[in-house]
Amino acid sequence: MKRKVWLIMAFTFSCSAALFSQEVKTSKFGKGIINIVDKDSTWSLKLGARIQLLASSFTINEFEEFDDPSSSFLVRRARIKMDGFAFSPKLKYKIELGLSNRDMSGGGWYTADAPRIIYDAVAKWNFYNNFELWFGQTKLPGNRERVISSANMQLVDRSILNAGFNIDRDIGFQLHHKNTFGKTFIMKEIIAISQGEGRNVTTGNLGGLQYTGRLEFLPLGEFADKGDYSGGDLSREQTPKLAVGVSFDHNHDAVKTRSNMGSYMITDTGFHHTNINTLFIDSMFKYKGVSFMTEFAKRTADDPIARNADGSETGMSVLTGNALNLQAGYLFKSNWEISGRYAAANFDRSITGRGAENEYTAGVSKYIAKHKLKVQSDLGYLTNSESSNVDMILFRLQFELHF
């Protein structure tokens, strides 16, 4: 017993000594729970946390009559974030873990029957001038709406364009570079090579590799506070700011229905393989509280329908088609914002069995501490022409707290 007590005391003393040998700083709200920097500046750690609580109610009109409303209350997101540098400020890292049921869902045989807790686990090495090499699991350089953090959204959730066409996260390598021409014109380039089957996959590469490239142009200079990847003009840009981006993604021998997302296309001989291409074109404009974001997405596949050895269809196919998303908002000086969205998705009915879908959403947000502490609500009307014009009215109320 005495030995255990001495061991505990020794461990406590060693941890305390290690902590006091570092410089520990408390942060302003929204800048992390704690910041630690080694006295020799050989490493740093910033620890943050966030919760996102959602209440929603919806009613469906399936046979020219709306059903009784259904409601739900949900811990939509609960995340832990860590970032900093190791050995040198030129070698940065980021770790993000998801703890809510929705965060961890999607596990199965492909993820070793384990929940998908890890969102980001990536190192970023600034090895030369404006060149930065990323390696690990993180978001691919796809559509702007997806790259914007779920903590920084203008409306309660992302659009139907994102739901059908985004390429989310994967594990691999990315090369980032930035050029400045003249006083304000900025060009950013990203090239990524990844496994092609999404995050936390442990079964290896069942298909081919995924190749993603992105070009982005900022003719009027950088946005304040990285506002080109944040919803709403919370910085109230004093001069007009514009960003235009184009991404192209090629998933070679893909085995999932939405490139590296969706379901695996299983046949009686294994997996259906096909090349899937996805194109994104997007823009962001902000000026004195006004914000406007546009997105276009298009997906094609060489052989979109999965078939068994005898030629019969398995019922699985690539989600091909195109989509458009238009989103705008105005931030008042009181930090209340009104916003709206129109989104349309046109799927290839002969391949997917799905018709056109439309989304109309109006939202209002109160930013107490910008995106770090806010309350958001929106009302949406969604139409689906797949069968008998199924419509839905959706109301959502969401609270975000981000340390």
**How far separated are the first and last CA of the chain, in Å rounded?**
40
Cα–Cα distance between 292 and 42 in angstroms, integer? 42
Q: Determine the 3-state secondary structure of 315 from DSSP.
A: strand
Q: Mean pLDDT over residues 100-108, rounded?
A: 93
- pLDDT-above-70 percentage for the chain: 91
Cα–Cα distance between 141 and 155 in angstroms, integer? 21
pLDDT band at 12 (very low <50, low <70, confident <90, very high): very low
Burial classification of residue 19, based on how many CB atoms lie within 10 Å of its CB (0-12 exposed, 13-18 middle, 19 or more buried): exposed
pLDDT at 118 over 90: yes
pLDDT at 109 over 70: yes
Measured on CA atoms in the order 57, 60, 64, 68, is the torsion positive or negative?
Answer: negative
Q: Are 51 and 103 in contact (CB under 8 A)?
A: no
Q: Are 100 and 116 in contact (CB under 8 A)?
A: no
Q: Mean pLDDT over residues 176-201, rounded?
A: 96
pLDDT in tens, 222-263: 999 999 999 999 999 999 999 999 999 999 999 999 999 999
Considering the chain, what is the average pLDDT of its residues?
92
| CA distance readout (Å), 67 to 22, 57, 61, 112, 335 | 60, 12, 6, 40, 36
Q: Determine the 3-state secondary structure of 64 from DSSP.
A: coil
pLDDT at 385 over 80: no
Phi, psi of 363, rounded to the nearest 5 degrees = -135, 160
The secondary structure element, H or E, covering residue 19 is: helix 2-20
pLDDT band at 61 (very low <50, low <70, confident <90, very high): confident
User: For 323-361, b where at least 16 C-beta lie within 10 A, e where not — what string?
Assistant: bbbbbbbbbeeeeebebbbebbbbbbeeebebbebbbeb
Burial classification of residue 192, based on how many CB atoms lie within 10 Å of its CB (0-12 exposed, 13-18 middle, 19 or more buried): buried
State the DSSP string of 6-18.
HHHHHHHHHHHHH
For domain 24-402, give the CATH number. Answer: 2.40.160.10
| CA distance readout (Å), 26 to 23, 31, 89, 212 | 10, 9, 20, 39
Quick one: pLDDT at residue 13? 47
Measured on CA atoms in the order 297, 302, 308, 311, is the torsion positive or negative?
Answer: positive
70 alpha-carbon distance from chain centroid: 27
Quick one: pLDDT at residue 165? 98
Burial classification of residue 107, based on how many CB atoms lie within 10 Å of its CB (0-12 exposed, 13-18 middle, 19 or more buried): middle
Q: Across-strand partners of 294? A: 283, 326
259: which 2 tokens?
């490139």
pLDDT band at 7 (very low <50, low <70, confident <90, very high): very low
pLDDT band at 34 (very low <50, low <70, confident <90, very high): confident
Q: Determine the 3-state secondary structure of 385 from DSSP.
A: coil
Going by C-beta distance under 8 Å and a sequence separation of 6 or more, which residues neighbour residue 382?
160, 357, 358, 359, 360, 391, 392, 393, 394
Highest mean pLDDT among 5-14, 35-44, 65-74, 177-186 belongs to 177-186
150: which 2 tokens?
């779920």
pLDDT at 75 over 80: yes
Residue spans of the domains in the chain: they are 24-402
Q: Determine the 3-state secondary structure of 200 from DSSP.
A: coil
Cα–Cα distance between 181 and 28 in angstroms, integer? 35
pLDDT at 156 over 70: yes
pLDDT in tens, 310-356: 999 999 999 999 999 999 999 999 999 999 999 999 999 999 998 89
Quick one: pLDDT at residue 31? 79
Cα–Cα distance between 14 and 221 in angstroms, integer? 49
pLDDT at 6 over 60: no
pLDDT at 8 over 50: no
Quick one: pLDDT at residue 297? 98
pLDDT at 15 over 70: no
Burial classification of residue 43, based on how many CB atoms lie within 10 Å of its CB (0-12 exposed, 13-18 middle, 19 or more buried): middle
pLDDT at 157 over 80: yes
pLDDT in tens, 289-308: 999 999 999 999 999 999 99
pLDDT at 20 over 70: no
Q: Are 199 and 168 in contact (CB under 8 A)?
A: yes
Q: Mean pLDDT over residues 144-150, rounded?
A: 97
